[in-house]
Amino acid sequence: MRAKSSAVLLTALAAATIAGCSTSTPGKPTAQLESSSTTATDRPTKTTSQSSNSLADINPCDMLTSAVKAQLRITDAGKPSDVGSGRGCDWHAEGTKRPWVLSVTLYDKLAADDVSTDLQVKPLPDINNRKAVQITDKNGLGECTVSVAVTKSSSLAAMAMADGDEAKGCEVARTMAELIEPTLPRQ
């Protein structure tokens, strides 16, 4: 059942991306994604709603600070989205060829590496002592998800589709996961 949730996640994100990428933003973006030069002030901080140490109390659309949104080149306020058993938020960001789609999904009952066997799963180095995996699909859309363990049975998924370039999508998804991780509850 959890494998189906992961497949539903990637399918829903791909469908949302196809629909979301039908418009373009005029102009030529010049900002550069800075994945390794973030400072503590660029990272989201815990809010009162997160102080209960429960993933269920976190609103995914509130997880990115203004500084993080600027770093990721996010151009909108975010739109809540439910993906399978997850609660998520989708944003658009300035891409070099077309708008990027970025998404954060919280899974209260899905482990970071509990994904469908038809997806490509690659273990990553831990993110601040949390297990992390990279998930890609063979759909040709260039999407990449970095899933981070919150507990043994819950996770955060940061997904990026960046100009149809899977490597860039994985870089952006990893950066998003690293920036969001400090806001996640610890047990």
Tell me, yes or no, whether 40 lies in a domain.
Answer: no
Name 90's Cβ contacts closer than 8 Å, sequence gap at least 6. 13, 16, 20, 78, 79, 81, 101, 102, 103
Per-residue model confidence as pLDDT tens digits over 33-63: 444 334 444 444 443 333 446 788 899 999 9
Residue 96's domain comprises 2-21+54-183
Tell me, yes or no, whether 31 lies in a domain.
Answer: no
Q: Are strands 100-107 and 120-127 parallel, antiparallel or unpaired?
A: unpaired
Tell me, yes or no, whether 80 lies in a domain.
Answer: yes
For residues 86 and 43, which has the higher predicted lDDT (pLDDT)?
86
What is the number of domains present in the chain? 1
Tell me, yes or no, whether 12 lies in a domain.
Answer: yes
Spatial separation of the C-alpha atoms in residues 145 and 19, rounded to whole Å: 19
Per-residue model confidence as pLDDT tens digits over 107-132: 999 888 887 767 888 999 999 999 99
Mean pLDDT of the region 151-167:
91
For residues 25 and 99, which has the higher predicted lDDT (pLDDT)?
99
Tell me, yes or no, whether 166 lies in a domain.
Answer: yes
Tell me, yes or no, whether 47 lies in a domain.
Answer: no
Tell me, yes or no, whether 128 lies in a domain.
Answer: yes
Tell me, yes or no, whether 167 lies in a domain.
Answer: yes
